[in-house]
């Protein structure tokens, strides 16, 4: 009797392996052989699911975006105002190994998105979702200014920029420094203290 393969599960195992390998070795250093080995599969097992490393990168980015969104939902559950906004942003900031590894995958994806309109569109849809959520959370936190778009942009610039700076210069961007920077920005936007 032939072995029954759960194709969705195998696809997720490959995506999980992909983001771990990209986080460890960078996009250029990640090979299909490395990804297959990390997932526990033979190299040829990838082709039916992902014909190229580029396609795997797409799925890895979508996976970390969905993973971040699940954490955001859990983090803001039961919170309101500034605390909800702060908790939401903490899930984007690279405050631990998992989020720093996700940032490395995002950076690799951004590099490709500069030259690939389809990837750029995936990124824009993802960021629009975050901008909308941040806008709602800002209003709930008491931001009443007419410059809500600017305020959301400032938060997005801080959290996404932190993914780059904390990944490239971790000695100068500790988790506490990132949290302090966020708190400083939120105080400027909505008043109060952290």
Q: Considering the domain boundaries, does residue 87 fall inside one?
A: yes
pLDDT at 131: 96
Q: Considering the domain boundaries, does residue 83 fall inside one?
A: yes
Q: Considering the domain boundaries, does residue 37 fall inside one?
A: yes
Q: Considering the domain boundaries, does residue 1 fall inside one?
A: no
Q: Considering the domain boundaries, does residue 96 fall inside one?
A: yes
In the 8-state DSSP scheme, what is residue 115?
Answer: T
Q: Which domain holds residue 83?
A: 7-190
pLDDT at 146: 73
Q: How many structural domains comprise the chain? A: 1
Q: Considering the domain boundaries, does residue 184 fall inside one?
A: yes
pLDDT at 96: 94
pLDDT at 83: 96
Q: Considering the domain boundaries, does residue 2 fall inside one?
A: no
* 3-state DSSP assignment of residue 52: coil
Identify which of 63, 65, 43, 44 has the alpha carbon closest to the alpha carbon of residue 55. Answer: 63
Domain at 82, CATH number: 1.10.357.10
* 3-state DSSP assignment of residue 48: coil
The pLDDT profile of the chain, 194 residues, written as one tens digit per residue, is 555 656 678 778 887 888 788 878 877 888 888 888 888 888 777 777 777 878 878 888 888 899 999 999 999 999 999 999 999 999 999 999 999 989 988 998 999 999 999 999 999 999 999 999 999 999 999 887 778 899 999 999 999 999 999 988 988 899 999 999 999 999 999 886 65
What are the angstrom distances between the C-alpha of 45 and each of 7, 33, 49, 81, 90? Answer: 11, 10, 8, 48, 37
* Residue 136 CA from chain centroid, whole number: 20
pLDDT at 19: 77
Determine contact, residues 101/122, Cβ cutoff 8 Å: no
């Amino acid at each position: 009797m032939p072995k029954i393969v759960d194709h969705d599960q195998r696809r997720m195992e490959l995506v999980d392996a992909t983001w771990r390998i990209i986080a460890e070795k960078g996009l250029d250093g990640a090979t299909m052989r490395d990804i297959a080995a990390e997932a526990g599969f033979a190299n040829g097992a990838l082709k039916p699911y992902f014909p190229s490393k580029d396609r795997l990168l797409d799925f890895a980015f979508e996976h970390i975006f969905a993973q971040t969104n699940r954490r955001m939902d859990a983090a803001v559950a039961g919170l309101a105002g500034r605390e909800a906004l702060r908790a939401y942003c903490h899930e984007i900031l690279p405050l631990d190994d998992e989020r720093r590894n996700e940032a490395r995958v995002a950076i690799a994806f951004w590099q490709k998105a500069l030259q690939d309109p389809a990837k750029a569109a995936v990124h824009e849809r993802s960021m629009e979702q975050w901008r909308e959520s941040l806008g709602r959370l800002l209003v709930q936190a008491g931001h009443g200014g007419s410059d809500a778009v600017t305020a959301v942009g400032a938060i997005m610039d801080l959290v996404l920029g932190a993914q780059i700076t904390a990944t490239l210069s971790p000695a100068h961007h500790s988790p506490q420094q990132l949290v302090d920077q966020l708190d400083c920005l939120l105080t400027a936007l909505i008043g109060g203290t952290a």
